[in-house]
Amino acid sequence: MDKIRVAIIGVGNFASATVQGIYYYEKVEREEATGLKHLFLGGYHPRDIELVAAFDIDSRKVGKDLSEAIFSPPNNTLKFAEVPSLDVPVLRGPILDGVGESLRELVKMDDRPAVDVAEELRKSGAEIVVNLLPGGAFKASEWYAKEAVKAGCAFVNANPTFISSDPKWVKHFEENRLLVVGDDLVDQVGATVLHRVLLKTLAERGVKVSETYQLDVGGGTESLDTLERAKTVKRSVKTKSVEAALPYKAVVVAGSTDYVDFLENRRDSYFWIEGVYFGGAPMHIDIRLHTIDAPNGGSVLYDVLRAVKIALNRGLVGALPSVSAYAFKNPPKLLPPETAEQHFKEFICGERER
């Protein structure tokens, strides 16, 4: 198979897990590979993902090879694989709104001038740009989307900025004969997915859920940035996604709530569900989920990158509704989980968005 040439925007914890995963699974050939939903997808293996460019603004990362930068502070996620030298220097991108006030104490801004991002993308041969900027970097996310268009690249928006879900942006990519998917990548063992499955299962069993919430407490730079700048947007996106799991109206609240420094890259997610079942008998569920944040998006992102590569091979342009609904909290069209899963399978088989 030909390589999937990817550029990364933001060399944070999620980027670290994404890069490590390529080498963790590099020699795995069994279809039941632990931690991956699909070892092969459309014939592509995670080792077919080739990282060709990376951009950041922290002086401890800029200028270093990507293989070193992913382990540089303030990154603090789990190290689970050795990464060889990639010959991909991390380039200085523009700051814009990429760093909130709270993060300025953790991030050491590099004083070199920003590179011409579109030109560097062209030189690298990147065909897909992945936006892994913090959740509150709305202007920077849009700016990088424009640079991706200038460079002729597909754009994968993993953060909650409205790009794939904004018809104006979709039209812009269509007019330039390019692909866009997003917004706000779901986690493999994420609170939103688990919350939706719980509610859907209860509703199918005849339970009437009246009230429910899901709230997060986490460490790491993403949790801190979300609390400061993206809390409202994240809550709106997550709440809308969870509400779609129920066939009736209920009081739903979902989103991040607080930051705890010593949790580092770990996250605690709290679920509370109340309702009634047979004879009006009351029911109550109270659950805590504990995860390490950064590795949680790896399996899903690998599916997205391979699906976008398949779409590129087919000459598709614009949004990919089935891919976005499968892998993101705020796609152009939100679908029930089982419908999104089926549409994604049909897309991979060539039965959708041809």
Q: Do 255 and 173 have their domain in common? A: no
In degrees and rounded to multiples of 5, residue 38 shows phi and psi of: -130, 115
Q: Do 70 and 215 have their domain in common? A: no
Residue 229: pLDDT band by 50, 70, 90 thresholds?
low
What is the predicted pLDDT for the residue at 190? 84
Who has greater pLDDT, 291 or 232?
A: 291
* pTM for this model (two decimals): 0.90
What is the predicted pLDDT for the residue at 86? 98
DSSP E strand stretches across 118-178: 128-131, 154-157
| Contact yes or no for 100/228 (Cβ under 8 A) | yes
Is 165 inside a domain boundary?
yes
Q: Do 127 and 56 have their domain in common? A: yes
What is the predicted pLDDT for the residue at 228? 63
| Contact yes or no for 147/7 (Cβ under 8 A) | no
Q: Do 335 and 290 have their domain in common? A: no
pLDDT in tens, 311-335: 999 999 999 999 999 999 999 998 8
Sequence-distant (≥ 6) Cβ neighbours of residue 153 within 8 angstroms: 7, 121, 126, 127, 128, 129, 178
Domain final residue, candidates 270, 294, 318: 294
Domain final residue, candidates 258, 273, 294: 294
Q: Do 106 and 96 have their domain in common? A: yes
Q: What is the mean pLDDT of the chain?
A: 92
- Provide the domain count of the chain: 2
What is the predicted pLDDT for the residue at 187? 92
Q: Angle CA(11)–CA(15)–CA(20) in degrees, nearest 5?
A: 125
pLDDT in tens, 110-160: 899 999 999 999 999 999 999 999 888 899 999 999 999 999 999 999 999
Who has greater pLDDT, 258 or 251?
A: 251
pLDDT at 282 over 90: yes
Q: Do 102 and 149 have their domain in common? A: yes
Q: Do 302 and 173 have their domain in common? A: yes
Task: For residue 147, give the CATH number of its domain.
Answer: 3.40.50.720
Task: For residue 218, give the CATH number of its domain.
Answer: 3.30.360.10
Among 170, 164, 194, residue whose Cα is nearest residue 325: 164
What is the predicted pLDDT for the residue at 249? 94
Q: Which of 25-34, 59-68, 216-225, 333-342 has the lowest mean pLDDT?
A: 216-225
pLDDT in tens, 151-197: 999 999 999 999 999 999 999 999 999 999 999 999 999 888 899 99
Q: Do 28 and 139 have their domain in common? A: yes
Is 111 inside a domain boundary?
yes
Q: Do 180 and 238 have their domain in common? A: no
Range of the domain at 332: 4-186+296-348
pLDDT at 257 over 80: no
Is 354 inside a domain boundary?
no
Other CB atoms within 10 Å distance of the CB of residue 115: 16
Chain centroid offset of residue 132 CA: 7
Q: Do 229 and 272 have their domain in common? A: yes
pLDDT at 225 over 90: no
What is the predicted pLDDT for the residue at 107? 80
Q: Do 310 and 164 have their domain in common? A: yes
What is the predicted pLDDT for the residue at 30? 79
Is 337 inside a domain boundary?
yes
Is 174 inside a domain boundary?
yes
pLDDT in tens, 66-124: 999 999 999 999 999 999 999 999 999 998 875 666 666 778 888 999 999 999 999 99
Rounded to 10°, the helix 138-151/117-124 angle is 50
Q: Angle CA(22)–CA(42)–CA(32) in degrees, nearest 5?
A: 60
Among 183, 186, 184, residue whose Cα is nearest residue 169: 183
Is 281 inside a domain boundary?
yes
Is 156 inside a domain boundary?
yes
Q: Do 25 and 123 have their domain in common? A: yes
pLDDT in tens, 28-56: 997 678 999 999 999 999 999 999 999 99
What is the predicted pLDDT for the residue at 98? 59
Is 127 inside a domain boundary?
yes
DSSP E strand stretches across 182-277: 208-218, 251-259, 266-276
pLDDT at 212 over 90: yes
